[in-house]
Amino acid sequence: AQSVTQLGSHVSVSEGALVLLRCNYSSSVPPYLFWYVQYPNQGLQLLLKYTTGATLVKGINGFEAEFKKSETSFHLTKPSAHMSDAAEYFCAVRRPSGNTPLVFGKGTRLSVIA
């Protein structure tokens, strides 16, 4: 079975500061990994994904994440936070084979302080 743990249900940063949202996963096979963002009263939008190849992946809005197999982690970062980054962020995992759905973490709410 697969699972995702997001450390910190709420993270608060100042505008312009580094954003770091933590995600650890458990999987019996090398997984596909994802970060989704959910703005208030909206659906989920894919930020970035890791499937194979380069372990540092870049996504939209200046976000990036690094797959570290030895640490079973896929932390999301952004060098400089904007007010518009305030949202709920979900890390998700799925097996690469077959038509299997995503397994989501509990989410981290990011607040950006002016």
**Binding residues vs other proteins (CB under 8 A):** 32, 34, 36, 41-46, 49, 51, 90, 94, 96, 99, 101-102, 104-107
Q: In the complex with other proteins, which residue's Cβ is closer, 17 or 86? A: 86
* 114 contacts 16 by C-beta, under 8 angstroms: no
The pair phi, psi for residue 83, each rounded to 5°, is -55, -35
Cα–Cα–Cα angle for 47, 48, 53, nearest 5°? 175
In the complex with other proteins, the residue whose CB is nearer, 99 or 114, is 99
The least CB distance from residue 96 to other proteins, in Å, is 8
Least CB distance from residue 42 to other proteins, whole Å? 6
9: left (phi over 0), alpha (psi -120 to 50) or beta: alpha
Tokens of 85: 């980054």
- Give least dist CB 97 to other proteins, A: 9
Distance CA 91, CA 49 (A): 10
- Which one, 22 or 49, has the nearer CB to other proteins? 49
Min dist. Cβ of residue 61 to other proteins (A): 16
